[in-house]
Amino acid sequence: MHPNIRRIAAFFTAHVDGLLFGAILLLTGTGLIVLYSAANGTFARVSSQLGNVMVAFTVMWAFANIPPHYLMRLAVPVYLIGLMLLVGVALFGEVVNGARRWLHVGVTRIQPSELMRIAVPLMLAWYFDRYESALRLRNFVFAALLLIVPVGLIVRQPDLGTAVLIFASGGYVLFLAGLSWRVIVGMIVAGGASLPLLWSVLHDYQRQRILTLIDPTQDPLGTGYHTIQSTIAVGSGGLFGKGWLNGTQTHLDFIPERTTDFIFAVFSEEFGLVGNSILLFLFLLVIARGMVITANAPTLFSRLLAGAITLTFFTYAFVNMGMVSGILPVVGVPLPLISYGGTSLVTICLGFGILMSIQTHRKLVQT
Amino acid sequence: MGEFSINPGTEIRNAQAEIQQFRLRLAIGGVFTLVMFALLFVRFFYLQIVQHDHYHTLAEANRISIVPIVPNRGIIVDRNGAVLAHNYSAYTLEVTPSKVQDLEATIDDLATVVEIAARDRRRFKKLLEESKRFESLPIRTRLSDEEIARFAANRYRFPGVDVKARLFRQYPQAELFSHVVGHIGRINQRELDHLENEEQLSNYRGTDYIGKTGLEQSYEKYLHGTTGVEEVEVDSGGRAVRALSRTLPVSGANLVLKLDAKLQEVIYRSFGDRRGALVAIEPETGGVLAFVSKPGFDPNMFVDGIDPQNWNELNTSPDRPMVNRALAGTYPPGSTFKPYMALAALTYGKRRPEQAISDPGYFNFGGHMFRDDKVGGHGMVDMYKSIVVSCDTYYYMLANDLGIDAISRFMSQFGFGSRSGVDIAGESSGILPSQEWKMRRFKQKWYAGETISVGIGQGYNSYTPLQLATAMATIANDGVMFRPHLVNYVEDIHTRERTYIEPKPLREIPLNPEHLAFVKNALVGVNKEGTGARAFAGAPYASGGKTGTAQVVGIKQGEKYVESKVAERFRDHALFIAYAPADKPKIALAVIVENAGFGARSAAPIARQVFDYYLLGKEPPRPAPDDDDAPQH
């Protein structure tokens, strides 16, 4: 091979983690195949998603080439900008479908909560790294504050799905940073104990809403409809599924939002338990590779960030599949790398870019 | 485990411990992910393997909808193939009330897209009251192509409103056959219950209409056919995507009638604007050739559900167009009863033909004066003359001699006072009085004086035009009686197989042929030289007939009935019974013209026109003119 070509190839591949990228490719490829079926055998959505994949991979490659210590410098400004935008949303945001999530900035509008998906773990990792030598309980208290303020703002929008995931990503950082078990257990106990108190102050309609989340059959035509129909799709898939493009629940329009949040119902109906197992395996592959990268990461910052990204990715996948199969309440969480939609794909791949960067810049840092 | 302690002196060891600590936490995270994914796998296994059958069934139930395919209703044609009831396809605009939030507002909106008249609204409101919320109900029928296009463009604004192609019933002859063919209408709760009892309910899935009256009702099981079934794959909006399997419906059978539509029309025309009924029967089969009750109504109004205004008009009209006079209207037979009385006298040996009475113009019974219509009487009257000139006195005496029970026994053989069993429902049995009948009806004994007026077809006597025609046909057919029937045969349109409706005789009345011949000869005499002679003057065929007049209000003893002094609706009914040709009868009939006075004047000319058309093909130029100086009843 010509040395120039080799050099160009090296430029593109030097900071790409082959194993991680391979698993990501398999998942996005699966996503496109399912999307074709979910879109009733039409190409429009698939080609549009292909464009999203290109953008996301470019972002991933770019972030893979940014050394982690540059990211550290970005942590505080990005977090503060994100927080300001969230406050802006709360004050001047645009209401779409009953939720105040969007903010008009000049010609376009943005959804600042997306930015916080990365900004929050980045900020917390930076914070713990800065106080690495002398971590005390008050550091954890302050870190928790850094987490709860944006999460609280997002809950108020309301965007429960995003709030849960950001809370989880921040929580993983706190956990990995060594939050005392006593505190963890104490919080769980306190949380459990406060539930009856919380229940007693809720209005009847709020209680009803929670009961419907737990038992969808109470409201089969309202919020329960999604869960009932997606559960039927999964269950009717059986061992081998009904076959690609043959899902009746899918193609007869019984599955709502089947290209986005409920795309797993399509996959599950058409590919059955065998397909589900393969998909779970691919997700585990990505998570395992993320764990290995995390374990080998040289600094506390990169360790915490990599761990949070990996476990957040797991949480996305688990919450989505749990919701589609009816064991978790319906919150708006897409299936990572599979669901149609650019924003979530870019955010996820940005995270993988950071993982690759941490992995490939390791030798340079380790002295 | 726990909060890790910080010792400033040992940074390397601390870093090592820190990494150990981190890796432990990471491992816990790893185990957590594995456990959670295992939980998902268990859930998938439960749904897809353990509960698979259950969810498979649910998915199939989602997807497959059983859609009935409604069979085409059989058509009804006359003996020459003229269509009396058929189907045509048209588009209707239908609303499913349960899918519409504000019905009034939706209909107001719809009215801006397609024309919805006040009449349509009233009819829809009536349908709404009679049906269930989830049924699809027509608000407009027979949409034009333009209206369909306009609605299609605005369809998104109207959830729960659809355009549907439906087969409609149409009665091209409208009023002419309203009382024979009848009409269909939307199935009501009582009919649903009936269908359920007959275990026919599943066959009526998808069918909205059922025969309500006339032949449409009585031949419902032939006309309806067998409903087909289509398994259709539907999407979540309930729209059909494709057919999975299909069992074709079996169309209803066609009815071919004995009735002659053209004859019916001739009769209708010859009635002019008078009310009445006429039944014409083919004596040798009992097939009904014409069945008229006038006025009728347009049965097409009932097909889409009649609107309340028209309904009220039909029900409150003094002409009572909804009453089937030929079938359910009962009238005193008047003098048309006399030939049967004569036959009874001969049969029971109470009179010999040549035996004559002297008629003073009245008959005195226990101080009661029974008037003859002719003042001063008919002089010497034998049996032939009694029929030809319609002498009352002769029959007053005869009735007295026979007694009510003998009369009743004899007359019952001709079907008087019992339902003929014709193939449409709603028939009246009429009244053939007897001692036993009066005891049953009034809990009173029979008075001998009451027998006298029965002799001339008055008193309690009361029969339907159908009974009068059937009796006439029986005489014409020499005592061999057939059950009258409107339908000749039912034809399966798939196999072309024909099922004929019983042409076999009902009974043969034991009559002495000589007696019969005598009475028939007297009936011919009526049309040749008696009360019917004027109407049948110049007829190229011989015919037998008998005029009659039926009182509407009782006339006091000794008082004379003066037509001009009586309000139109209380005037006498004119009757005529006849058959032709006299030697080999092809047609027998009974006609009644309400409030038209003497039978000879109004009823007989109609019979003449019927015979002229049926036997000679001669059509009457215009309605029969009134003829004032005809011989009296």
- The Cα–Cα gap between A357 and A64 comes to 4
Q: What is the pLDDT of residues B407-447, one digit of tens each?
A: 999 999 999 999 988 999 999 999 999 999 999 989 999 98
Q: What is the pLDDT of residues B365-393, one digit of tens each?
A: 888 888 888 888 888 999 999 999 999 99
Residues of chain B neighbouring A325 (CB-CB closer than 8 A) = 40, 43-44, 47
Question: ipTM for the complex?
Answer: 0.93
Catalytic residue among B218, B335, B390, B434: B335
Report pLDDT for B2.
41
| Interchain contact, B25 vs A175, CB within 8 Å | yes
Q: Report the chain B residue with the minimal C-alpha distance to residue A278.
A: B41
> Comparing C-alpha atoms, which of B279, B367, B293, B321 is closest to residue B587?
B279
Report pLDDT for B132.
65
Average pLDDT over residues B520-549: 90
Task: Establish whether B335 is a catalytic residue.
Answer: yes
| Interchain contact, A295 vs B23, CB within 8 Å | yes
Is residue B423 included in any domain, yes or no?
A: yes
Residue ending a domain, among B122, B145, B170, is B170
Same domain (yes/no): B126, B270: no
Which range is least confidently modeled, A150-159, A232-241, B292-301, B553-562? B553-562
Q: Look up the pTM and report it.
A: 0.66
Length of chain A: 367
Check if the beta carbon of residue B106 is closer than 8 Å to that of residue B95.
Answer: yes
Strands B254-257 and B76-77 come out as: parallel
Dihedrals phi, psi of B280, to nearest 5 degrees:
-115, 135
Is residue B458 included in any domain, yes or no?
A: yes
Check if the beta carbon of residue B605 is closer than 8 Å to that of residue B590.
Answer: no
- The Cα–Cα gap between B55 and A234 comes to 8
Same domain (yes/no): B154, B274: no
What count of Cα atoms within 13 Å lies in the side-chain half-sphere of residue A5? 2
Domain that holds residue B315: 261-616
Dihedrals phi, psi of B394, to nearest 5 degrees:
-55, -40
Same domain (yes/no): B274, B146: no
Check if the beta carbon of residue A324 is closer than 8 Å to that of residue A230.
Answer: yes
Whether the CB of A278 is below 8 Å from some CB of chain B: the reply is no
Is residue B566 included in any domain, yes or no?
A: yes
> Comparing C-alpha atoms, which of B234, B225, B230 is closest to residue B248?
B230
The top-scoring range by mean pLDDT among A103-117, B34-48, B535-549, B554-568 is: B34-48
Residues of chain B neighbouring A295 (CB-CB closer than 8 A) = 23, 26
**Interface contacts A/B by beta carbons within 8 Å:** 138
**Any idea what the CATH number is for the domain that residue B574 is in?**
3.40.710.10
- The Cα–Cα gap between B622 and B633 comes to 24
Residue ending a domain, among B125, B143, B170, is B170
Is residue B457 included in any domain, yes or no?
A: yes
- The Cα–Cα gap between B416 and B355 comes to 27
- The Cα–Cα gap between B265 and B82 comes to 12
Residues of chain A neighbouring B60 (CB-CB closer than 8 A) = 248
Q: What is the pLDDT of residues A11-45, one digit of tens each?
A: 888 889 999 999 999 999 999 999 999 998 888 89
**Residue B11: is its pLDDT beyond 60?**
no
Q: What is the pLDDT of residues A340-359, one digit of tens each?
A: 988 889 999 999 999 999 99
| Interchain contact, A236 vs B59, CB within 8 Å | yes
Dihedrals phi, psi of B333, to nearest 5 degrees:
-75, -15
Residues 225-244 of chain B with CB under 8 A from chain A are: 233-237, 241
| Number of separate domains in chain B | 2
For residue B379, the surrounding DSSP H or E stretch is strand B379-381
Helical pair A18-38 and A44-64, crossing angle rounded to 10 deg: 160
